[in-house]
């Protein structure tokens, strides 16, 4: 449910009202990044404080804790409204911070892609690329460490069989 600025003004103190006004649409986009981060931290602190006070008032109403003031709280609507207003302001600030983060990431991605394209075009212009999968002037063949065997395997087998046949003839005498 949307909460009008008139209701916001009634539920908040003067300094909280000023912080919440900075979280509304035209003002939040004009904030610099550092000020947005500070405002977001301050808004979270205020929201957490208001939430703690609202929980305390609910406990007083149920009779679970003693009254903080002279008498126990009778109603909790004002503190709940304050928590809702501060939570919505925090949500708006989080949305703006996320929007800026995504925009910066998009710009960074485009810049990185342009740099990669420029590097690739420079590499293609230079025909002596060092780091590629193709052979260029700088590559050398690696020598095989095993000595090349000059005898054909078929010839070796023929000689072995001839030697065993000759040995068998000698043994048969």
In a domain, 168, yes or no: no
| Token representation of residue 76 | 């909790």
- CA angle in degrees (0–180, nearest 5) for 143-148-153: 145
Residue 77's SS3 state is: helix
Is residue 27 included in any domain, yes or no? Answer: yes
Cα–Cα separations (whole angstroms), residue 66 to 35, 54, 70: 40, 14, 10
Whether residue 91 is contained in a domain is answered as yes
Q: How many domains does the chain have?
A: 1
Domain assignment of residue 48, yes or no: yes
Output the pLDDT for position 73. 67
Q: Is residue 43 part of a domain?
A: yes
Model confidence band, residue 101 (pLDDT cutoffs 50, 70, 90): very high
Q: Which domain holds residue 68?
A: 5-97
| Per-residue pLDDT, 128 | 57
Asked, for residue 85, whether it belongs to a domain, the answer is: yes
Q: What are 58-98's pLDDT values in tens digits?
A: 888 888 877 776 666 677 778 889 999 999 999 999 999 99
Contact 79, 53 (CB under 8 A): yes
Listed in sequence order, the residues at least 6 apart from 111 whose beta carbon sits closer than 8 Å to its beta carbon are none
In this structure, is residue 107 part of a structural domain? Answer: no
- The three-class DSSP label of residue 117 is helix
Q: Identify whether 121 is part of a domain.
A: no
């Amino acid at each position: 449910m949307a909460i009008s600025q008139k209701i916001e003004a009634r539920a908040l103190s003067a300094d909280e009202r000023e912080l919440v006004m900075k979280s509304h649409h035209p003002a939040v986009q004009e904030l610099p990044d550092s000020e947005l981060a500070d405002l977001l931290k301050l808004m979270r602190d205020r929201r957490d404080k208001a939430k703690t006070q609202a929980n305390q008032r609910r406990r007083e109403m149920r009779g679970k804790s003693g009254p903080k003031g002279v008498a126990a709280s009778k109603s909790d609507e004002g503190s709940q409204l304050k928590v809702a207003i501060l939570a919505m302001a925090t949500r708006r600030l989080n949305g703006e911070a996320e929007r800026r983060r995504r925009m910066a990431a998009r710009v960074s991605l485009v810049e990185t892609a342009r740099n990669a394209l420029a590097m690739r075009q420079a590499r293609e212009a230079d025909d002596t690329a060092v780091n590629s999968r193709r052979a260029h002037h700088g590559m050398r063949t690696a020598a095989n460490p095993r000595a090349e065997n000059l005898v054909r395997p078929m010839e070796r087998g023929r000689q072995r069989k001839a030697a065993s046949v000759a040995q068998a003839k000698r043994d048969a005498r």
